[in-house]
Amino acid sequence: MDSYHNPTPTVDIVIELDGGVVLIERRNPPHGWALPGGFVDAGEHLAAAAVREAREETSLDVELQEQFHCYSAPDRDPRGHTVSTVFLARARGVPRAADDARAVRVFDLAQLPPLAFDHAQILADVVHYRETGERPPCTR
């Protein structure tokens, strides 16, 4: 039988709150600040995974605004090839770190910490989209 090495589906959520964006400090490697997100469970819709991951890591109930873009660079995650579907969302409330988030904080988009994965590029693409209405190229 052939062995397939397919990319793993993931979701990332850009949660706007109090004029900033919610980021988590990762408890597990790779460490650092990141967008909330994670792996899609078998049998789970992408949107449901995004809502679940946001809740698990930030304790926030989010309202998904739109599916923004997919990021599929083979080297985007040092653990292996993932394809992330990114959602834009809004939330109300006070974020609390949970699950595999060591900390959670709302950051101004102009003052972001160093970010894990390709999340700096994702947020730059979101800022560009908000300013121009142009989505990222399909090559990301």
Q: Does residue 108 belong to any structural domain of this protein?
A: yes
Of 40, 123, 47, 126, give the one whose Cα is nearest residue 83: 40
Task: pLDDT band for 5, please (50, 70, 90 cuts).
Answer: confident
Range of the domain at 47: 8-132
Does 41 fall in a domain? yes
Kindly report, residue by residue over 100-140, the tens digit of the pLDDT. Answer: 899 999 999 999 999 999 999 999 999 999 999 999 998 87
Number of domains in the chain: 1
Question: Six-digit token pair at 102?
Answer: 């060591």
Digit-coded pLDDT (tens) for 52-73: 999 999 999 999 999 999 999 9
Q: Is residue 15 part of a domain?
A: yes
List the CATH number of the domain containing 54: 3.90.79.10
Q: Answer yes or no: is 73 within a domain.
A: yes
Condensed to tens digits (0 to 9), the pLDDT of residues 13-57 reads 999 999 999 999 999 999 999 999 999 999 999 999 999 999 999
